[in-house]
Amino acid sequence: MLLKPGRERSVLNRHPWIFSGAFQNIPVNLSDGEIIEVLDSKNNFLGYGHYCKDASLTCRMFYIGDRIVINDHFWLTRFKQAYEFRKQLGFAQSTQGYRLFYAEGDNLPGIICDVFGTHYTLQLKTQGAQNLKPLLVQFLSSLGLSEANTECSFVEDNLKFFVDAVQGQKTGYFLDQRDNRRLLGHYAKNKRVLDVFSYSGGFSLYALANQATQVTTLDISEDALKLCEKTVQANFDKPLNHELLCGDSFDYLRELAPGSFDLICLDPPAFSKNASTVQKACRGYKEINLQALKNIAPGGLLFTFSCSQHISKELFRQVIYAAAKDAGRFVRVIHELHQAPDHPVSIFHPEGEYLKGLVLAVQSL
């Protein structure tokens, strides 16, 4: 498919996304998921990509360079490279739960695969990725993995976690927060901890494992809290000062008594799914952070996150600044947080960096 004049610039810069307006014309007989050749306006070959029918993001490129043969060997080599990269980082040894394939971050657009013990979950976001499923299953089977079609479990830092691979959020567990859970555990000792938008309570588990004096786990999903309760019971023999609350996080934060908690974690779902909802999302982020900053105990720590791709790090920090200003507290940034390294970001595809977070030390003025 031919690009319009000047539209080859992003491809030459190795960005893998091409939108419909960049092409001179799109043949009507192309099948969804078909491998296409991408050419510049002068007919020079640029690379290969998967055609995405009826989508504004019309082509996801998986190879940029000279013509080569795209066959099973090509894809199996890509899969193996991603696996060897995780081994190099130590994930296959240090934890039973890690992201094996991260789409553009592994030159595998549309393919996401998480490993939980001896099981895996797949998210195949394009037809081109769907077409590769038999080969993916073959490769994953060669690693001794089977597809998770029910609840499974894995061990992370000597803690056992349960994964709802069918009905659960995301791929069943938020592996991207692994390093940030560890950091929260480091600070949790002797603190009263509130885990907001908790899902199955990953941050709560690390707080409990690191001798927090009190942990409150809050989520709107009863099923998520049941999974959290099961996880707590599997990891701790003695009764703990742990409370599960099912309810609206916005309402709870607004009604929170000042000084109730020394450490608050805000890890909401993506408030913005597209560019048109960014302003509304920012209002949501400001509200929850304002209430947390107003009501956290003096000397407290706030772990706050956004996983909205359309909210940049700079915009998120501006929102936190506005919340801190209105809260009337002295706030200092002590850590900048991001997704774990098994979610690598291609330098050519900054859109892959979606998770951003801050740890804030909060005092009275």
Give the angle 280-281-285 at the CA atoms, nearest 5°.
120
Name the nearest CA neighbour of 349 among 107, 54, 25. 107
Q: How far is it, in rounded angstroms, from Cα 288 to Cα 194?
A: 13
Q: How far is it, in rounded angstroms, from Cα 339 to Cα 352?
A: 10
User: What token pair was written down for 220?
Assistant: 């709107």
- 113 a catalytic residue: no
In the block, tokens 């013990």 appear at: 117
Q: How far is it, in rounded angstroms, from Cα 345 to Cα 5?
A: 29
Q: How far is it, in rounded angstroms, from Cα 330 to Cα 365?
A: 5
Q: How far is it, in rounded angstroms, from Cα 105 to Cα 88?
A: 16
Catalytic one among 59, 152, 265, 307? 307
Q: How far is it, in rounded angstroms, from Cα 226 to Cα 118?
A: 23
User: What token pair was written down for 18?
Assistant: 């091409």
Name the nearest CA neighbour of 11 among 32, 41, 34, 55. 41
Q: How far is it, in rounded angstroms, from Cα 234 to Cα 230?
A: 6
Name the nearest CA neighbour of 124 among 134, 111, 115, 136. 111
Name the nearest CA neighbour of 242 among 270, 273, 221, 211. 211
Q: Annotated active-site positions, please?
A: 307
